[in-house]
Amino acid sequence: LVQTAPNVTYQLLLKNGETLEIRNPQDVPDTGQIEEFRQPIVRCNFLVPVEFIGPVMQLCSDRRGVFLKTEYLSPTRAMLSFDLPLGEVIYDLHDKIKSVTRGYGTLDYELQGYFPADLARLDILVGGKKVDALSIICDRRDADRRGRAIVKKLRGEIDRHMFEVALQAAIGTKIIARETISALRKNVTAKCYGGDISRKKKLWAKQKEGKKRMKSIGSVDIPQKAFMAVLETGAERQ
């Protein structure tokens, strides 16, 4: 079982005039076919104690929210209204609101429709192979940060192998971030006593060739916690 981000349905207008509904990032066609990306926008109403208005407004601003109004319901409570991308809401915004308001804030939202947005599919390559379950759709302006954050997270979550593993984030064919998991080291000359340097060189060469062969045919185990780490990068901001 692979845990992925909650699905958001996007709309794509293609250059041939066709409109697609996209539920999974891996279904996004090549950039050259896309005329316009559209994302669902929801109207969010936050009921909060007045002393937490600032933190809630900052949280919504960080998530590309558009402020609409503040309505004071009493001397101690207010309602804040924002339009937000649904993708910024459904994963953990409710929990974040509870956190910044010490449990006193509430949230409800209603779909407003689909609107054009500058989005892109961000792919993650592990050992040169694209991992579909790690692909996400994100705001193009945030893609570099997300890409760097994801490969950095993965580097800490994926165990080292006998061969070097490259972790890359890409939009289309452009690599925007990279980390490397170094290979495990094995002392193949441990049983070579004395100064027989020629035998040691042969063993090192054999080890190097073996690692190259393992890298070409080996698979990389990606633990469940690595997939969860990818989801968490969406909530992190600089």
For residues 60 and 105, state if they share a domain: yes
Picking from 95, 117, 139, the residue at the C-terminal end of a domain is 117
Residue 26 domain flag: yes
For residues 131 and 113, state if they share a domain: no
**Other Cβ atoms within 10 Å of 213 Cβ, number:** 11
Picking from 71, 97, 117, the residue at the C-terminal end of a domain is 117
Residue 4 domain flag: no
For residues 108 and 124, state if they share a domain: no
What's this model's pTM, rounded to 2 decimal places? Answer: 0.74
Q: Regarding predicted confidence, which is higher, 74 or 200?
A: 74
CATH of the domain at 57: 3.30.70.240
Residue 158 domain flag: yes
> Rounded to 10 degrees, what is the CA torsion of 16, 21, 27, 31?
40
Report how far residue 88's alpha carbon sits from residue 62's, in angstroms, rounded to the nearest whole number.
10
Segment (H or E) for 224: helix 224-232
Average pLDDT for 88-97: 89
For residues 164 and 212, state if they share a domain: yes
The total domain count for the chain is 2
Q: Is the pLDDT of residue 176 over 80?
A: yes
For residues 165 and 200, state if they share a domain: yes
- Whether 114 and 19 have beta carbons less than 8 Å apart is answered as no
Report how far residue 42's alpha carbon sits from residue 147's, in angstroms, rounded to the nearest whole number.
26
For residues 140 and 204, state if they share a domain: yes
pLDDT tens digit sequence for 40-66:
999 999 999 999 999 999 999 999 999
Confidence of residue 215 (pLDDT cuts 50, 70, 90): very low
Residue 19 domain flag: yes
Q: Which domain holds residue 36?
A: 10-117
Report how far residue 7's alpha carbon sits from residue 21's, in angstroms, rounded to the nearest whole number.
12
Picking from 117, 136, 165, the residue at the C-terminal end of a domain is 117
Residue 3 domain flag: no
CATH of the domain at 152: 3.30.70.2570
